[in-house]
Every structure is written in C-alpha cells, then in structure tokens.
Structure 1
Amino acid sequence: MRATVAWWDLSRSDQTIASLRECLREEGVEQWERVPGLRLKFWISDVRTDRWGAVMLWDSTADPAAPLPPNRASELIGYPPTHRMAFDVEAAVEGLCSGPLERGPAFTAEGRP
C-alpha cells in the first residue's frame, strides 16, 4: 500500500475550515468513492494552526497515473498544497470497530455554522 498526504496552510487563502467543511458536505465526498485503487480517504483539519488536508491510502496495484476527481480543495483554496508527501505503508491493521467509519465534523452539528 501507499499513503499520500496533502496539507494546506490556509493563512494565504480566503477559505476557512468551516467553508471547506461546507464544500465537503455539498460536493466533496461521493466522487472519491468510485476511484479505483483508493482504499480510504479522510480529510483532516487543525483549527489551532489553520490547516486543512487529506490523507489517502492506496492499494499497491493502484495506477498512480489514473485520472482523479477534480481537486476542489486546490480550486477553492487558490493554490496547491503547502506540503504533499507520499509514503510506502509498511504494515496496516484494521481494529475492532462497532460500526462504519464516522463521517466527522463536516457532517455533524459540531462542524456546522
């Protein structure tokens, strides 16, 4: 497996974590559910440092040159990620969970204005 991380410092953007959460609710998630080879994608934020990003886990057989959905974060933020990194995943484990993944603040009352 491979992992990729895209991380934006929002200090130069008009976008906020709240506005990016709203975009996720309206249009940002479903298109990623159909990407071949994508095992998991989760969006991350750090309100304290005003940062926004995404982490993606890819099957080792995923084609790195395959087309992806439009990068709405870059479009909205106005510039490419401040940091973009790719890593080999040395080991992975799925823990015991009581249900499906939680959707997070973008989809709960906690993250809504």
Structure 2
Amino acid sequence: MRADIVWWDLSASGQTIESMREYLREESVDAFSEVPGLRFKMWLSDPDTNRWGAVLLWESEEASRQALPSRALELIGYPPQVAHGFDVEATVEGRHETQRLALQGLAFAEATRSKRFRG
C-alpha cells in the first residue's frame, strides 16, 4: 500500500476553502470515487492558515502513479507546497458509530444545511 499527502497554501490563489468545497461537491468527489486502486481519499482544510490538501491511500504504488481526475492544480493555479508519497506500514479501522464513511465532512454538512434552509 501507498499513501500520498498534498497540501496547498491558498493565499496566492484566487480560490478559497469555500470555493474548493464547492468543487468537491460538484465534481471531485464523484470523479475520485471511480479511480481504480484508490482505497480512500480525504480532503483537508485549515481556515486559520488558509491551507487545503488531501490524503490518499492506494492499494499499490503502481495505482498511485496513474493520472488523476483532479482540477485542483488548474483551479488553484500552482502546484502544492507539500507533496509526499509514503509506504504504508500498517492500517487499522477502529470502533466507530458512523456506518458510512463516504460523503462525510464539512463540504456535505454545509450542503445539507443549505438545502434545509431553502425549502
């Protein structure tokens, strides 16, 4: 298994954390759900430092080398300041109450709240 971490400082970009959340909801999450060999992708944000990034877990190093359906580089306008790949030493799933891991997080919580208030 292989893990990748990427991280952008959005300060020099025309994008914001909010605009990138919209990109997740409208395009990126669905596109990444079809990537062969991708076990997990988690998008991250830090409003205090205006950073945006992701952690990807791959079935193999070969899978991690494929072209990805991401427009983040295009939207942000420059490469991530941090981009590292790692060998995975071990994995575990702990006890949890959330039945479904997909479609969790602020990008979807905000969309759900917005729909409730509109109608």
Check whether TM > 0.5.
Answer: yes
Q: How far off is 1:87 after superposition? A: 0.6
Q: How does 1:1-12 map to 2 (within 5 A)?
A: 1-12=1-12
Give the % identical residues.
Answer: 55
Q: How does 1:1-113 map to 2 (within 5 A)?
A: 1-60=1-60, 62-69=62-69, 71-98=70-97, 99-101=99-101, 103-109=104-110
What is the alpha-carbon distance in structure 1 between the residues aligned to residue 29 and residue 46 of structure 2? Answer: 19
Deviations 1:51-108 (A, max 9, x none): 0001100012643443321x21111101111110001111100112221115100111
**CA 1:37–1:19 in 2, change beyond 3 Å: closer, same or farther?**
same
Amino acid at match of 1:24: L
Q: TM-score, normalised by structure 2?
A: 0.84
What is the alpha-carbon distance in structure 1 between the residues aligned to residue 16 and residue 25 of structure 2? Answer: 14
Amino acid at match of 1:15: Q
Determine helix, strand or coil for the equivalent of 1:29.
helix
Answer whether contact 1:4 1:84 (CA < 8 A) is retained: yes
Which entry has the higher C-alpha Rg, 1 or 2? Answer: 2
Determine helix, strand or coil for the equivalent of 1:57.
strand
Q: TM-score, normalised by structure 1?
A: 0.88
Q: How far off is 1:50 after superposition? A: 0.4
Determine helix, strand or coil for the equivalent of 1:63.
helix
The equivalent residue for 2:117 is none
**CA 1:110–1:35 in 2, change beyond 3 Å: closer, same or farther?**
closer
Greater fraction of residues in helix: 2
Q: What CA RMSD, in Å, does the superposition of the two structures yield over aligned residues?
A: 2.0
